[in-house]
Amino acid sequence: MEKGFGVKKKTSRNSPNGNMKFVCFSCSRARKSQPTKQNHLIPNPQTKANCKARINATEFEDGKCKINYSVLKHNHCLSPHKSQFYTCNREIGIGAQRKLELNDRAGVSMAKKFQTLVVEAGGHDNVPFLEKYCRNFVDKARHLRLGIGDAKAIHEYAS
């Protein structure tokens, strides 16, 4: 996040007991771009740059990890000020999730909920997610929350 690129898990293999044995992390701009749009007069922005930056690692039985292979050179510009928009950096922390749920139950508007998180973090640059992600999280929490009579309806349906 500090250097300005996203990371994704490219490949991984598990051992027979279920523990991860091998993992390869790569730059989020790896692979070649494949156009999917039919109208070539209106191009889509390119998100893939065939970047070769990656790290391969193996974990041994004793819990130690060894980096087998690494390429740290990117073939594209890095942008630290845009790193909060990468998918791998979009996670809302557990504390922020709890505050969003409590404020939602109290009836606080979404703009004010997000603004309290921004003030606590010390500015927009220190918040690793956008207001849109908070809206999505609150919507998902509302769908999962049981309302009045829901538990009774589920019990009657199961009986």
Which pLDDT belongs to residue 2?
66
Which pLDDT belongs to residue 65?
85
How many whole angstroms separate alpha carbon 122 and alpha carbon 104?
Answer: 22
- Domain closes at, from 72, 87, 102: 87
Which pLDDT belongs to residue 144?
84
- Domain closes at, from 70, 87, 104: 87
* The total number of structural domains that make up the chain: 2
* 11 and 78, same domain (yes or no): yes
Quick one: which of 13, 1, 10 has its CA closest to 53?
Answer: 10
Which pLDDT belongs to residue 118?
92
Tell me which residue has tokens 């000020």.
81
Radius of gyration for the chain, computed over Cα atoms and rounded to the nearest angstrom: 21
* 78 and 103, same domain (yes or no): no
* 23 and 62, same domain (yes or no): yes
- Domain closes at, from 87, 112, 141: 87
- The tens-digit pLDDT sequence of the chain (159 residues) is 667 677 777 877 887 777 778 888 888 777 766 666 666 676 666 667 778 888 888 888 777 888 888 888 888 777 777 776 677 777 888 999 999 999 998 999 999 999 999 999 898 878 888 889 899 999 999 888 877 777 788 888 887
Q: Domain range spanning residue 157?
A: 90-159
